[in-house]
Amino acid sequence: MKIILLIVAGVLIVIGAVWALQGVGVLGGSVMSGNSTWAIIGPILIVAGIVVGVVALRRSSGRT
């Protein structure tokens, strides 16, 4: 379960980073480019990914 949570955390962080970069206009070529909504949602997703990653790392390895 720990590995799955770490994978989910990584995916959330990567997607959040892409959305944030599209929102501020660094990554172009999308409807989301330059849209401030994604510049707000992206960092929220990054924080959620960090929280999931911390929870995964803090889980005791002895649990089943």
Domain presence at residue 41: yes
**Structural domains in the chain (count):** 1
Q: What is the pTM of this model?
A: 0.84
pLDDT for the residue 5: 94
Token look-up 């401030």 returns 36
Domain presence at residue 64: no
Is the per-residue pLDDT at 64 higher than 90? no
Helix axis angle, 36-58 relative to 2-23, nearest 10°? 160
Domain presence at residue 63: no
Task: Give pLDDT tens digits for 4-19.
Answer: 999 999 999 999 999 9
Domain that holds residue 22: 2-58
Task: Give pLDDT tens digits for 23-62.
Answer: 998 888 888 888 889 999 999 999 999 999 999 999 866 5
